[in-house]
Structure 1
């Protein structure tokens, strides 16, 4: 494993459905090498729970997530939805989009490092809430 790939000390929390979806993404090999290694490690340590047992502050499908770019201090808000419901014009992003895969399973307050199209970025998850 690449020593540059650091995973959180706190395991991510996923439903079994999300876990399986992420495993399928790994199998399709659409992620960068960095993200593939990181996601593989995260899934090895992930806690799988029923969707009714996902804590309110954990990022999953049908949640609104605000992240702050650690380098630029810019804030971004994403509405994470099922892949078939993603509509950019409504700011609805697929849970399988780069930012969706990066933050899924993490809790509000977590620092997430992920390779985005413009390079490796660090984000702080500042707010997680259910979509209305």
Structure 2
């Protein structure tokens, strides 16, 4: 378990493993994102801090992590269990890290508020808790 604290608030940077950084760059290259999200992701990657998997803080959203999330506007709470795209199965209550919500949250730490374009418009979310699965 890694408890390393990396301060990203001053730079608004996300923290990603090198492999996840490359995977996200590929998503941009493939032009599979709504324009708002593509612009956001490009900016996030520009400021991203890349780390080795062993150095990724435990409170940062990544693959094989469970995330408790709150919709800031409605107050509704959700839990997502993020896995690799080929491992995502609704019957196991797992979601691909490359899903719209996964892309919105990847690399952010607990307590972060962010906006992302979903099917029902731009939503504002707060990451309540991140735990290993």
* TM-score relative to the length of structure 2: 0.91
**Aligned position for 2:78:** 76
Q: String of CA shifts for 1:32-80, please: whole Å, max 9, x gaps.
A: 0000000000000000000000000000000000100001100000000
| Equivalent residue in structure 1 for 2:41, among 39, 42, 45 | 39
SS at match of 2:41: helix
**Which whole-Å CA distance do the structure 2 matches of 1:45 and 1:75 have between them?**
28
**Aligned position for 1:5:** none
**Aligned position for 2:111:** 109
Q: How far apart are residue 10 of structure 1 and its match? A: 2.1
User: RMSD of aligned C-alpha atoms?
Assistant: 0.9
Q: String of CA shifts for 1:63-111, please: whole Å, max 9, x gaps.
A: 0001000011000000000111001122200000000000000000000
**Which whole-Å CA distance do the structure 2 matches of 1:48 and 1:86 have between them?**
25
**Which whole-Å CA distance do the structure 2 matches of 1:66 and 1:30 have between them?**
26
SS at match of 2:32: coil
**Aligned position for 1:4:** none
Equivalent residue pairs, number: 124
Work out whether 1:66 is the aligned partner of 2:80: no
Q: Which runs of 4+ in 1 moved over 6 A?
A: none
Query: Could you list the runs of 5+ residues in structure 1 that have no partner in the other structure?
Result: 1-7
**Aligned position for 2:32:** 30
SS at match of 2:46: helix
* TM-score relative to the length of structure 1: 0.92
**Which whole-Å CA distance do the structure 2 matches of 1:48 and 1:22 have between them?**
12
